[in-house]
Amino acid sequence: MLVNERGKVMEVDGGADRENSNIAVGDAHANTIRQQFKIVYLDEVPAAPKRGDYNKDWGLKIGEPFFLQTSLPSGRYLDMIGRNMVIKTRNGYTSQMWYFDWRSKTIKSWKNKGWSWDIQNAGRSTNMQAWNTNSGWF
| Tens digits of residue pLDDT in 36-49 | 998 888 775 445 43
- The pTM (predicted TM-score) of the whole model is 0.67
- Buried/exposed 84-115: b ≥16 CB within 10 Å, e otherwise: ebbbbeeeeeebbbbbbebeebbbbbbeeeeb
**CB environment 16-50: b (16+ within 10 A), e (fewer):** ebeeebbbbbeeeeeebebbbbeeeeeeeeeeeee
- Angle at 5 (CA atoms; ends 108, 81), nearest 5 degrees: 35
Domain spans of the chain?
A: 8-132
- Which pLDDT score, from 0 to 100, does residue 86 have? 96
% the chain with pLDDT above 90: 54
Mean pLDDT of 118-126: 85
pLDDT band (50, 70, 90) for residue 136: low
* Per-residue confidence (pLDDT) for residue 48, from 0 to 100: 43
Assigned architecture for domain 8-132: Trefoil (2.80)
C-alpha 38/C-alpha 8 separation (Å) is 18
For residue 122, give the 3-state DSSP assignment: helix
pLDDT for 40 equals: 81
* Residue 103 one-letter amino acid: R
